[in-house]
Amino acid sequence: MNQLVQKAKELLTSGEAAYIIGYAEDKKGKTVPCIARNSESAEKLVFNHHSINNLAVYLKRIKKFNKGKIAVVAKGCDIRAIVALVQENQVRRDSIIIIGMNCNGVVKDSADEWKRENVQIKCKYCQLRTPRNADFIIGELKDFELPEDYQLALMEKIEAWSPEDRRAFFEESFAECIKCYACRQVCPLCYCEQCITNKSMPRWIESGSTKKGNFSWNIIRAFHLAGRCIGCHECERVCPVNIPLTLLTRKMGVLVMKEFNYRHGSEFDQPTLVGVYNVSDKEDFIK
């Protein structure tokens, strides 16, 4: 019996956890989200290089639960999302159990095996292979060399362009958007009861997939995640037309770290970026 299954059974049989949100293998050998409610279903739980999904997304709609705690199997990057939900008062820390997994990288959806060149973008600059803020940590780390972080080089290249060229680049990228909103649904920090895109009185964003509407939607979404995005890259992974969505959110994260030395989802007791004011905050970026 592997460590994950053993820990899951302990939590379920003791009643400490009402159920466990984790991963199970599908018929193709990949993994899918799975909810284990008893010892028998806990046997299905696995964790491997196909465990891509950020399972914190399943916590964002839970308002109240009285039948025990909810346990979540999470990578280091996923735990940042859980911490962020607690910081933003969407989830109570005392209502969840975090089963942290030592992670050796996860691969792209289409990849059948672990290879250095197959790892997800987020793994290329990961600093959380050993999770923080977990109640338990399971699994063994293996040494491997991270591949080149090409996204950072692309960000620096785009930043050197003129404002006109940058706008043209993003307008062209967003022109492919089909307004499926998969990026919104998969994001653990998109939890508004009514998204601005669904409001019709007044209508803030064109509902159709038009150049203007696409640009407005993607820019507004990026701004809503400014200083909040935890870098799980789920939005870009599920985008059916491969828009480089994380270029903007990651860039804003870099700026927030530079200007305020702030990284969302780091500590449970840390206030949100807009939840605290310090007289020593920089002001030179204000134009």
Tell me the mean pLDDT in the region 262-287: 80
Determine the Cα angle at 242 with ends 209 and 199, to 5°: 35
For residues 7 and 127, membership in a common domain is answered with yes
For residues 163 and 129, membership in a common domain is answered with no
Banded pLDDT at 66 (limits 50, 70, 90): low
Is 161's pLDDT higher than 70? yes
For residues 133 and 204, membership in a common domain is answered with no
For residues 104 and 159, membership in a common domain is answered with no
Question: In which domain, by residue range, is 120 found?
Answer: 3-138
Q: Is residue 284 part of a domain?
A: no
pLDDT tens digits, 89-115: 999 999 999 999 999 888 887 666 667
For residues 28 and 108, membership in a common domain is answered with yes
Does residue 285 or residue 232 have the better pLDDT? 232
Q: Is residue 286 part of a domain?
A: no
Q: Is residue 225 part of a domain?
A: yes
Number of CB atoms found within 10 A of residue 182's CB: 16
| Chosen domain end from 108, 138, 168 | 138
Mean pLDDT of all residues belonging to the chain: 87
Q: Is residue 162 part of a domain?
A: yes
| Chosen domain end from 79, 103, 138 | 138
What is the C-alpha to C-alpha distance for residues 285 and 138, in angstroms, rounded to an integer?
43
Q: pTM of the full predicted structure?
A: 0.89
Is 228's pLDDT higher than 50? yes
Predicted local confidence at residue 1, as pLDDT? 46
For residues 120 and 188, membership in a common domain is answered with no
Are 177 and 243 contacting, i.e. CB atoms less than 8 angstroms apart?
yes
| Chosen domain end from 86, 109, 138 | 138
Are 234 and 223 contacting, i.e. CB atoms less than 8 angstroms apart?
no
Q: How many domains does the chain have?
A: 2
